[in-house]
Amino acid sequence: MDYLAKLPRVFQPESVVVIGASNNPDKLGYHVMKSLVQGGYPGRIYPINPNASELWDLPTFPSLDTVPGDVDLAIIVVPAQLVPGVLEQCHKKGVQGIVLITAGFREIEDPAGASLQERVREMADGWSLPIIGPNTFGFVNLTTTLNASFTPEFSLVPKGGVTLVSQSGGFCHLSAFRAMEENVAFAKIIGLGNRCNMDFSDILPYLADDPDTRVIGLYIEGMDDPRRLLDAAGQMRGRKPVIAYKAGRGETGDDASRFHTGSLAGRYEIYRGAFRQGGILEVGDTEELLDTAKALDSLPPLHGNKVAVLSSQAGPGMIACDICEACGLRLVEFSSRTQERINELLPPLAIRTNPVDMGPAWYSPRAIIGIMEAVIDDPNIDGVVFLAMYASANVALGGEMRKYWEERKPSTKPLVACFSAPSPIWTEDVKLMDRTKGMVFLPTPERAARTMGNLWRQTMLVRNRRQNG
């Protein structure tokens, strides 16, 4: 039995042991228990601790061999030198996989750390035992409400189809906290840590088949062999979008990576080449990764590069046009039928062609919704960037728009919107519309337009892949 076959039971286990469970908040074993229990994991939880009979209202076991029945996943939070012995017990118990939170392996300056990791790897490889980590926070499976990490707050991330696989736990925390603010919805967040025997290329085949994962995000610092990632991505044959963010692009980053996860970040150009060949969509910062993942998870594909920019105020529309053009999107003419409908709804005061300045109708939700509807239905248009700033004088827009979309069937074209309003009059309207019916909402016109541009890049990646077999 190879690693891959075991991964479904690792990420969706029926039972979890915590080796090093604790009721002391200064210990990570406490926070792991809190994550499992408060996160609402529905399976069996077995805390292992020889010095306690009960933890978190659960009976505690002195050792792994005293646990009744099968164990799918073991979360290990004991000191590094105890790990080989614990792994031996896990193997004997028939555990399917490990989350090894413990640090002190290849990432430390002392070469004893690297030796210990090598020893652990050899043991695990002999048993085909997948290890997430060491030196990781763990992972969270939001679909099954399994929080196998030392961060209980991961359970608060919105649930959806994005799976993040990351070499940095800090990046996972940052992404999760931003996701809570900006409504990016995750299936899983996985911290690879030192990648003992589970690297990006080992996880990707599992995620390719994982029905909960619709979009894969990778945060990469450095790999021993970037070509393995290329191969793994290639084997996915474009079935799911893969987005990659490569850190350690400069010299300092290289140094930091060597210490952090024990591998050279390597020449950035090598990674760029691998991304291109592997059909992987590269992004340049955290917000772009999250925005793009959110859009790819929630929107229909952008079938062509002909977009419309509709803006309730001309300025944000110009901003969006700049970015659209830079991204290779084309602001094409509307069909004559669409143009006629717009002309009926807008006075002959402003620009009524694409980009549409809806300024003269900014106080009229009816006109704005009518224009949007006409443009979405236009066969010349592949996607719509929709912008509106609203406050006291045009406050009705959010509610009227929400009502419209409640009754309308989902758009078959992607609609990327920036609706900005001050929090006091901000209703739940935008939050209720976000990620529904073919729409996502982003915080600025630039981010909305750039995200539409990335939908187009993704479409081209898929086409190139098909053309090249």
CB within 8 Å of 411: residues ≥ 6 apart: 300, 376, 384, 437, 438, 439
Q: Is 221 in the site for a copy of itself (CB under 8 A)?
A: yes
Cβ-based nearer residue to a copy of itself, 208 or 332: 332
Q: With binding defined as CB under 8 A, does residue 265 bind a copy of itself?
A: yes
Rounded to the nearest whole angstrom, what is the least distance from the CB of residue 148 to a copy of itself in the complex? 14
- Are 43 and 13 a contacting pair, CB within 8 Å? yes
> Cβ distance 217 to 288 under 8 Å?
no
According to CB under 8 A, which one of 13, 47, 316, 365 is a site residue for a copy of itself? 316
Contact set for a copy of itself, span 440-459 (CB under 8 A): 443-446
Site for a copy of itself in 154-173 (CB under 8 A): 156, 166-171, 173
User: If binding is defined by CB under 8 A, does position 261 make contact with a copy of itself?
Assistant: yes
- When binding is defined by CB under 8 A, the residue of 6, 31, 188, 240 that contacts a copy of itself is 31
Over the window 138 to 157, marking each residue x when it contacts a copy of itself by CB under 8 A and - when it does not, the resulting string is ------------xxxx--x-
85 is an interface residue for a copy of itself by CB under 8 A: no
Measured from the CB atom, the residue of 95 and 190 that comes closer to a copy of itself is 190
Per CB under 8 A, the segment of 116-124, 285-293, 365-373, 404-412 that binds a copy of itself is 285-293
Query: Which residues in the 189-218 window bind a copy of itself by CB under 8 A?
Result: none
Output 6 or 294, the one with its CB closest to a copy of itself: 294
Residue closer to a copy of itself, measured from CB, 93 or 258: 258
Nearer to a copy of itself by Cβ, of 438 and 445: the residue is 445
Taking residues 340 to 379 in sequence order and writing x for each that binds a copy of itself by CB under 8 A, - otherwise, the string is: --------xxxx---x-x-xx--x----------------
Among 4, 37, 114, 180, binds a copy of itself (CB under 8 A): 180
Q: Does 420 bind a copy of itself (CB under 8 A)?
A: yes
Establish if 423 lies at the interface with a copy of itself (CB under 8 A). yes
